[in-house]
Amino acid sequence: MDQSSAQKEIARLRREIKKHDRLYYELARPEISDGEYDLLMQRLIELEKQHPGLVLPDSPTQRVAGKPLPGFTQVKHPTPMLSLDNTYNEDDLREFDQRVCKGLTGQSYRYVVELKIDGVAVALFYRQGLLEYGATRGDGVRGDDITANLKTIRSIPLSIDASESELEVRGEVYLSKKEFARLNDIKQQEGQAVFANPRNAAAGSLKQLDPRAVAQRKLSIFVYGMGRPPGNLDQHYQAMKFMKDLGFKVNPNIGLCQDISQVIDYCNRWEQKRDDLDYEIDGMVVKLDTYAQQRQLGATSHSPRWAIAYKFPARQAATILRSVEFSLGRTGVVTPVANLEPVQLSGSIVSRATLHNDDELKRKDLHYGDTVIIEKAGEIIPQVVRVVIEKRNKKAGPVVMPQNCPVCHAPLKRLEGEVAWRCGNVSCPAQVKGRIEHFASRGAMDIDGLGPAVVELLVTQELITDFGDLYDLRKADLLPLERMGEKSADNLITAIEKSKGNPFWRVVYSLGIIHVGTQAARELAKRFEDMDSLASAGCQEISKIYGLGPAVGQSVENFFRNPHNLKVLEKLKRAGVRMKSDSSTGHGGAFSGMTVVLTGGLESYTREQAAELIISQGGNIGSAVSKKTSLVLAGSEPGSKYDKARALGVTVIDEREFIRMVKGL
């Protein structure tokens, strides 16, 4: 591709990626799958590599371009980042209002009320429209320069179309509840201490020195103000709209309240609805709307007089610890789980709570029969926060970690640098079952009829010791099993057989390598043509792949170093499970140089698979139909894209035609 067409293509891809970032992160309305998004990104990276002169500082590829830092430097905030005073009840709010009223003698005023996101406050500084740096609040005067980490957050624009030469925007970086649960799940599997709440997780993530590790945590941001708002803005409410129009992610739940009663109503409403949100809030923020009035009231040395935080009461309940169960995951980590006297906690009955790990057990000094305080903190399963020591029965014994695996009785070990105790026995039935269940699960090898109950039978009857053995099973082995009829045995054998043809990435995902979810598995399968080259790649090489990182690299390397795993892989290979990449990466394929838009559902492929095929054969995926679209692939019930293609005279093909092209017929 020559320089000028490369330039055009790069500009198009950047626009496209920026648009999808916005759709995904600001509007929560993605138009393309993650896979399709990654393909756009890969293409841009490729082109920029070929034309390094065309790389701009605000290109989406620059989000994860930083190298690990030795430490953070400090920056001084242009205007101090004050913290807010807290209030805890309606009376406090009314008192705040009286102070405001007194300060603004005779004037009318109104409030803007926002959700108080449970995250980390940051400042983003833009010069001539480009993100120059981003920093933590720190002590309010100086904060840590965490620019490289903030750049990895896709909802933070790297450039904005502002007429102001300098603009400092402030916001709260946070983790969604789902992402928080995912991170803690990984921590648990890795034997690391889990994060207590999403705020700690967000703060811990921003303190990482390696931006690639930060990119792994899917952080997000809501902006809520500016250090010095542009002079043409008179009100905060107006400013929120201004920032939204610039492309910042502004929380949509902003209340405009005419008096303090409305403020209180609004706060109460959100206290009831907080569980509907996919992120944690710990209260509300009340601000005087008009800037002139804000200035009139001013600030004390530590907080403004025109704003206040209203904190929700913690969601805690007291109950009795009945017993402790030690459960075992597929990586062998033993997790203590509390069985509780059932208790009502913000709308649901709670009878179990996580105790995380041994360190936590010791720190809480838990005894059987203790009265404990449990709390919900952005988790599906609540946690025990503390013991009410005064209520302890003197004869009660302490809860201690067992020394042996509760399932196979092998001694538990604690590895260096881990908080978890693990069962080190690779043949431990609990781990074996866990790994096989994962292997067979939907999204992995998707083996119908191989749920936990059947896995349990197969393992306890010693028919299999790992998932590699599945492929040696015969119908005659299955028939003696409980509740296994002729038909279900046939079906299971067929399902196992069928799984051999699963795409390579699903095989990679099925192995259950820590940190390798479906997304990472796809990435690995794209980069390595077969299992052998993946196995010999090593941490360094894998860490460099866009979207992955050192944690994934290390985990993959560890997996392939383990002789037990190699033995299982050998079985898969022998059985004929697909061990190499299925897509040819050739250029000049059937879709060479074409921009293809997909619409409607396909029978033989998911849209992602179809997109992968098109890209692998030299094409690009477009998201909207225009005159430049080469081809529209229309499946069943195509949408408006189909009509538009017809109107513009763009060629439309159906699935049969598509298959014909793919196969080169």
- For the window 341-360, what string marks contact with Zn ion as x by the rule CB under 5 A? --------------------
Pinpoint the alpha helices (H) of 345-501. 358-364, 429-440, 452-460, 475-478, 486-499
Nearer to Zn ion, 421 or 467 (CB): 421
Burial label, 229 (beta-carbon count in 10 A; 0-12, 13-18, 19+):
buried
- For the window 378-407, what string marks contact with Zn ion as x by the rule CB under 5 A? ---------------------------x-x
- Pick the binder of Zn ion from 120, 150, 353, 428 (CB under 5 A): 428
Nearer to Zn ion, 148 or 405 (CB): 405
573 Cβ partners below 8 Å, 6+ apart? 531, 579
- For the window 11-30, what string marks contact with Zn ion as x by the rule CB under 5 A? --------------------
Site for Zn ion in 553-572 (CB under 5 A): none
| Residue 408 annotated in ligand binding | yes
| Residue 172 annotated in ligand binding | yes
**At which residue do the structure tokens 């603004």 appear?**
104
Least separation in angstroms between residue 331's CB and Zn ion is 11
- Pick the binder of Zn ion from 209, 233, 408, 463 (CB under 5 A): 408
Q: Report residue 596 as tokens.
A: 């293809």
Nearer to Zn ion, 147 or 188 (CB): 188
| Residue 84 annotated in ligand binding | yes
| Residue 37 annotated in ligand binding | yes
Nearer to Zn ion, 333 or 634 (CB): 333
Residue-wise DSSP of 548-616: --HHHHHHHHHHHH-HHHHHHHHHHHHHT---B--S---SS-TTTT-EEEEESB-SSS-HHHHHHHHHH
Q: Which stretch binds Zn ion (CB under 5 A): 102-110, 427-435, 631-639, 654-662?
A: 427-435
Least separation in angstroms between residue 437's CB and Zn ion is 16
Nearer to Zn ion, 355 or 405 (CB): 405
| Residue 36 annotated in ligand binding | yes
Nearer to Zn ion, 44 or 428 (CB): 428
Residue 539 is inside which H or E element, if any?
A: helix 538-543
Q: Which stretch binds Zn ion (CB under 5 A): 73-81, 106-114, 175-183, 408-416?
A: 408-416
Residue 310 is inside which H or E element, if any?
A: strand 307-311
Tell me the residue type at 171: G
State the pairing for strand pair 412-414/130-136. unpaired
Q: Cβ distance 550 to 539 under 8 Å?
A: yes
CA-nearest of 426, 475, 429 to 449 is: 475
Nearer to Zn ion, 276 or 462 (CB): 462
Least separation in angstroms between residue 27's CB and Zn ion is 47
| Residue 428 annotated in ligand binding | yes
Nearer to Zn ion, 243 or 423 (CB): 423
Q: Cβ distance 503 to 494 under 8 Å?
A: no
Tell me the catalytic residues.
116
Residue 632 is inside which H or E element, if any?
A: strand 631-634
Distance of CA 589 to the CA centre of its chain: 35
| Residue 31 annotated in ligand binding | no
| Residue 311 annotated in ligand binding | yes
- Pick the binder of Zn ion from 423, 496, 525, 597 (CB under 5 A): 423
Burial label, 592 (beta-carbon count in 10 A; 0-12, 13-18, 19+):
exposed
Residue-wise DSSP of 198-235: HHHHHHHHHT-S-HHHHHHS-EEEEEEEESS--TT--B
Q: What are phi and psi of 360, to 5 degrees?
A: -65, -40
| Residue 378 annotated in ligand binding | no
Q: Which stretch binds Zn ion (CB under 5 A): 108-116, 379-387, 426-434, 557-565?
A: 426-434
Q: Cβ distance 359 to 418 under 8 Å?
A: no
Compute CA distances 331 → 403, 417, 420, 472, 512, whole Å.
17, 16, 11, 24, 9
For residues 62 and 55, give the distance between their C-alpha atoms in angstroms, rounded to a whole number: 9
Site for Zn ion in 279-308 (CB under 5 A): none
Q: Cβ distance 590 to 618 under 8 Å?
A: yes
Q: Which stretch binds Zn ion (CB under 5 A): 50-58, 84-92, 260-268, 419-427?
A: 419-427
Contact status: 334 vs Zn ion (CB under 5 A)? no
Least separation in angstroms between residue 501's CB and Zn ion is 34
| Residue 35 annotated in ligand binding | yes
Least separation in angstroms between residue 477's CB and Zn ion is 25
Least separation in angstroms between residue 424's CB and Zn ion is 8
Binding site feature residues for NAD(+): 34-38, 83-84, 114, 137, 172, 287, 311
Please give the residue ranges that form the binding site for Zn ion (CB under 5 A).
Answer: 405, 407-408, 423, 425, 428
Binding site feature residues for Zn(2+): 405, 408, 423, 428
Binding site feature residues: 34-38, 83-84, 114, 137, 172, 287, 311, 405, 408, 423, 428
